[in-house]
Chain A
Amino acid sequence: MTLLAVDGIARSFGATVAVDGVSFGVAAGERVAMIGPNGAGKTTCFNLINGQIAPDRGRVAIDGRDTTGRSPRALQRLGVGRTFQISQVFASLTVRENVQAALVAGQGRALSPWPPLRRREAAAADRLLDQVGLAGEAERGAAALAYGDAKRLELAMVLGQGPRLLLMDEPTAGMGIDERHALMELVSGVVRGRGVGLLFTEHDMDVVFGHADRIVVLHRGRVIAAGTPAAVRADPAVREVYLGAEAPPCA
């Protein structure tokens, strides 16, 4: 069964139709990239799937269970993890505590009065930080992280919760090229190893074509193409509205 099934979701803001009847699915162990011009409606799609905003119509289902309009919190309990386009970390906690917080929250112990957060799950947190390449930053305040590092921290936090569906909005924005690939390799490993479903957006075509099993192309809130990377790359409509001359040569 598909892990995530999106069926005809739509959402307008006043006169702007941001998402206009989008349908697609993500299977367990599959990596799906959502691409499209700026303002195509990708982030809005994420917000609809993740419950930040409610759709005007359409249905979102996870494991066949209707989750349309559920809160982000309810979706987290169903195994949905999300990173934001502009990364959101807890600025007044240390980098390690950020991950510890995610782990503790994942166990549903956010209210526990004892012992201190810094003494919980420290080893597991350090492993995750190591995985995303932030081991050296563990003691720093998260507010001090450079832009790209904050994105990695966010990923570590989400991975720590062992999600079944990962939603990542521009996960590698602000990173260097080989770091992008390293990060996507890491995510891909998790996807394959644990059978997680991944939906991500990205404007870096190397990352998209290098790491997606399937691509959904959005334009003006509608899906204009979907399929394997090769098929999408060859699609004239996609070239016309999105790729232009930047399309990398076939690998």
Chain B
Amino acid sequence: MDSALATLRLMAAEPSFALAQALTGLASASSLFLVAAGLSIVFGVTRVVNFAHGSFFMVGAYLAVTAIGWLGGGAAGFWGGVVVAVLGVGLLGVLVEVAILRRLYAAPELFQLLATFGVVLVIQDGALFLWGPEDLLGPRAPGLRGAVEIFGQRIPTYDLFLIAVGPVVLVLLWLAFRRTRWGVLVRAATADREMTAALGVDERRLFTGVFALGALLAGLGGALQVPRETANLHMDLNVIAEAFVVVVVGGMGSVVGAYLAALVIGVVHAFGILLFPKLTLVLVFLIMAVVLVIRPAGLLGERGAASRQGAPEAPLRPASARLRWTAAALFAALLALPAVAGGYVLVLAVDVAILALFAASLHLLLGPGGMISFGHAAYFGIGAYGAGLAWKWLAAPMVLGLAVAPLAAGIAGAAFGWLCARASGVYLAMLTLAYAQIAWSVAAQWLAVTGGDNGVLGLWPAPWAASPAAYYYLSLVLCGGGILALRLLVHAPFGQFLRAGRDAPRRAEALGVAVGAQQWLAFIVAGAFAGLAGGLFAYAKGSVFPTYLAIPRSVDGLVMVLLGGVQSLSGPVVGALAYVGLADELARGVALWRLVLGAAIIVLAVAFRRGLAGAVGDAAARP
């Protein structure tokens, strides 16, 4: 705070300093815009939220450093290197689209997300393998090395160049989409892919082209960033989070909106770094939340008709006798586990049970609700902190802690959900991500209460539940009961109307159903169950850390649901099993474990579109 005040005073005394800072912000905005524009275009056309878009940015930067190195210094070398990098990334985009995404266009949105997340992991380890762990310092742009004096402040010439790049690309893109046949076809395919094909347009080529263009722009953003920052292995996730924000604030699919949003975010960021260095991320996400609450479709986004995509879900069927027996047999086997297995297996089994409940609660939003929640870890973490803080500050016993956990998370679900239920689709996903990020930074930075990164330590289960077997039984009962309750809810009017409101909201409203309220309640319920899982996790591990509500945990949840299959509730359970097995056992021992995990995720997403549970179900149904 003191430093913030000092900075403010400095700016008041020296307005040109503020100007310089704003120009720096605008220069960063250009790169951000390039990335976001690509992301927005790709999403608009293919409806794929491309997690790997940040990886293209990163590869662009690395490739540029390498290519400029090969081609030697000088203007030709530098700009030639940039071109090589951009084309290289474009090619990588084509590869990713043809090899992976093309097979997934008909799959549920979340599968695509999963696959592109797999690509992120693969590229991360690929870059590590090719370029090593050290940050790479790139050359400066020949001819633009100097600085220009503006109101007594020295502004790098290269920054001014970057500031100009944004509008130029913006105009070119706008012309391409509004004034060319290609642009019209792309927009048509965005609205209705099948009909576009029926009119003779080769939509596969069109999509590959669009994806390549998007990748190209990201690559350009990365390559142009080389003179300003080192190429490093964190660029991908850093830039993707901000690019998401830009795209959503601007309005999905609106390139002009993306530009405006990039300017706003870039400038806010530049000042935020000075004023509240720790809170910049929160600041950025807060802007997004405010914009979305006021304009649910972003600054310039239109609430377009929902795109026609993916076959509708099959109706829910009651559990067959076979399923009931299988579930009962499984439960009996689980009851017998402590008799045959040692402590380590029980600890793992507790993890699986908790993650299964966590994934099942997420499934309520993703499946029946049709609401993509990117920030589900928030509820898990808030539940964990609820238990942890109740213990730390009130010395609450375990039973009370386990009651506080779902309560706290349910309240958080009510608060976040109230705002979220106004948005839909990808906007909703971004909003949930925003809230999770805010919760995360509060947990990490409110040292006095949460202990910050040191977390809450020393939590211990009540004596009667302290043995591994006892805690295992406790988790089994609570998680199993939670999952069963969620299943009942989905089949009850509550869940069926969630699905109905997702299928045909106008019909539902005309029948007198308050679709928004229904979705809000779903947030509360899902939040509470995730919170219960978090509380159990806190006592299982004996500690609570901010990582419990960080993005990777949310992604864990998504991966589990998708592994298991969105269609059925058995999915999350199977997914949790597979995930714990995959991540903890198989991969962590391998050198390039991200690459292996990523490849496995991609293969699973492509091969088992309906998830493992779906695949198993199919096999069982086959005569």
Please, how many angstroms separate the alpha-carbon atoms of A88 and B499 in the complex? 14
Please, how many angstroms separate the alpha-carbon atoms of A245 and B503 in the complex? 42
Given contacts A90-B503, A93-B503, A113-B489, contact A82 B496 (CB under 8 A): no
Q: Which A residue sits closest to B487, measured CB to CB?
A: A116
Q: Which of B312, B493, B517 contacts A120 (CB 8 A)?
A: B493
Residues of A within 8 Å of B, CB-based: how many? 42
Given contacts A106-B511, A106-B512, contact A93 B492 (CB under 8 A): no
A117–B510 touching, CB < 8 Å: no
Residues of B within 8 Å of A, CB-based: how many? 32
Please, how many angstroms separate the alpha-carbon atoms of A142 and B512 in the complex? 20
Interface of B is mostly: helix
B494 on the A face (CB < 8 A)? yes
B145 on the A face (CB < 8 A)? no
B324 on the A face (CB < 8 A)? no
B512–A161 touching, CB < 8 Å: yes
Given contacts A91-B504, A105-B511, A106-B512, contact A112 B494 (CB under 8 A): yes
Instruction: Give the chain A neighbours of B313 by CB distance below 8 A.
Output: 91-92
Q: Which B residue sits closest to A139, measured CB to CB?
A: B315
Q: Which A residue sits closest to B498, measured CB to CB?
A: A110
Please, how many angstroms separate the alpha-carbon atoms of A35 and B602 in the complex? 55
CB distance from A26 to the nearest CB of B (A): 18
Q: Which A residue sits closest to B314, measured CB to CB?
A: A141
Q: Which B residue sits closest to A76, measured CB to CB?
A: B512
Instruction: Give the chain B neighbours of A71 by CB distance below 8 A.
Output: 509
Q: Which A residue sits closest to B500, measured CB to CB?
A: A90
A101–B512 touching, CB < 8 Å: no
Which residues from 92 to 134 on chain A have a C-beta closer than 8 Å to any C-beta of chain B?
Answer: 92-94, 97, 101-102, 104-106, 108-118, 120
Instruction: Give the chain A neighbours of B493 by CB distance below 8 A.
Output: 101, 104, 109-113, 117, 120
B489–A141 touching, CB < 8 Å: no
Please, how many angstroms separate the alpha-carbon atoms of A84 and B496 in the complex? 21
Given contacts A104-B493, A112-B494, A120-B493, contact A77 B512 (CB under 8 A): yes
Minimum-distance CB pairs A-B, first 4? A91-B312, A76-B512, A88-B507, A92-B313
* Apart from A90-B499, A161-B511: 20 A-B pairs, beta carbons within 8 A: A50-B510, A52-B506, A71-B509, A76-B511, A90-B500, A91-B503, A91-B504, A101-B497, A105-B511, A105-B512, A106-B512, A109-B493, A110-B494, A111-B497, A116-B488, A116-B491, A118-B316, A118-B491, A120-B493, A157-B511
Q: Which residues of A contact B (CB under 8 A)?
A: 50, 52, 71-73, 76-77, 81-82, 84, 88-94, 97, 101-102, 104-106, 108-118, 120, 141-143, 154, 157-158, 161
Would you give 17 A-B contacts (Cβ < 8 Å), ordered by A? A76-B510, A81-B510, A90-B504, A92-B312, A93-B496, A97-B496, A105-B508, A105-B513, A110-B494, A110-B514, A112-B494, A114-B492, A116-B488, A116-B491, A116-B492, A143-B311, A157-B507
